[in-house]
Amino acid sequence: MDEEIISAEAKLPAWQIHKRAYNWVLHWADTKFGLIALIVLAITEPICVPIPADVLVLGMCLGKPKNGIKYGLICSIFSVTGGTIALLCGMTIGGDNVIAIFDKVHLGEKVQLALELYQKYDFWAIAISALTPVPYMLFSWLGGLANVSVTKFVLISVVFRTMRFGSEGLIFYLFGAKAKKYIDKHFNTATVIVMILLGLVAFVIKKLGHIFTA
């Protein structure tokens, strides 16, 4: 894998810094420091790193599919740790300063809309950002601005980050290297199905609550 990454790197234009960073992160999967790199990326991604930790999870799982579950769980735990740090930073730094930070990375326009949605639907904001390609970093920081309960944030994040990274690791554990094609092709579709099912569960629970409290 390392030779393929180096070859791809050589073909990249100098301006494609993001792709070079992506390849640099991925190359750690083939080194003895892969697990340390995974932990560092998992913690820093929700704080300030725009490269998803999935990149390294998948790379490491390709090398050792039978360790897939372990890699997925480790990534989940440390990703939630990083998200919680970002949440606390958002609380400490304050609204205007946090918005200014996201302005610098061209996400400022999305902040106000996301914050309004967060204040109305905090459960779903955390769940969707933890499970889907929606930036978990953005919603981790905004959780601090929305004064979301730290306990609530951690519990929801643990469930849905584990669903994301844990399922990737589980698929590799069960199907080996063939799993990468499956994840690449069906990840977003599976995510949509999961969210629809969760929505139905929440609706049923709400209705049952009305029945028992009537």
In tens, the pLDDT along 107-161 reads 666 677 778 778 788 888 888 888 877 789 888 988 888 888 999 999 999 999 9
Residue 10 in any domain: the answer is: no
Query: Which of 9, 27, 29 minimizes the C-alpha distance to 19?
Result: 9
pLDDT for the residue 13 = 46
Question: 12 pLDDT exceeds 60?
Answer: no
* Range 127-131 contact pairs with CB under 8 angstroms and sequence separation of 24 or more: 127/156, 127/159, 127/160, 127/195, 127/198, 128/195, 130/83, 130/156, 130/157, 130/159, 130/160, 130/161, 130/163, 130/164, 131/160, 131/161, 131/163, 131/164, 131/191, 131/194, 131/195
Question: 204 pLDDT exceeds 70?
Answer: no
47: domain range?
Answer: 32-213
Arithmetic mean of pLDDT over the chain: 77
In tens, the pLDDT along 35-82 reads 999 999 999 999 988 788 888 888 888 888 899 999 999 999 999 999
188-206 mean pLDDT: 61
* Range 191-195 contact pairs with CB under 8 angstroms and sequence separation of 24 or more: 191/131, 191/132, 191/133, 194/131, 194/163, 195/127, 195/128, 195/131, 195/132
pLDDT band, very low/low/confident/very high, at 21 (cuts 50, 70, 90)? low
Asked if 9 and 20 touch (Cβ cutoff 8 Å), the reply is yes
DSSP 8-state assignment for residue 54: H
CB atoms < 10 A from the CB of 179, how many? 21
pLDDT for the residue 6 = 44
What is the domain count for the chain?
Answer: 1
SS3 state at 178: helix
pLDDT for the residue 154 = 95
Residue 19 in any domain: the answer is: no
Q: Does this model's pTM top 0.85? A: no
Question: 205 pLDDT exceeds 70?
Answer: no
Residue 27 in any domain: the answer is: no
Residue 196 in any domain: the answer is: yes
Residue type at 158? V
Contacts of 51 (CB under 8 A, 6+ apart): 18, 21, 22, 25, 41, 45
Name the percent of the chain lying above pLDDT 70: 68
In terms of DSSP H, where are the helices of the chain? 2-11, 17-27, 34-44, 54-63, 68-93, 95-104, 108-120, 122-131, 136-145, 150-161, 167-175, 179-213
pLDDT band, very low/low/confident/very high, at 102 (cuts 50, 70, 90)? confident
SS3 state at 12: coil
In tens, the pLDDT along 47-60 reads 988 788 888 888 88
pLDDT band, very low/low/confident/very high, at 34 (cuts 50, 70, 90)? confident
Asked if 122 and 145 touch (Cβ cutoff 8 Å), the reply is no
Residue 138 in any domain: the answer is: yes
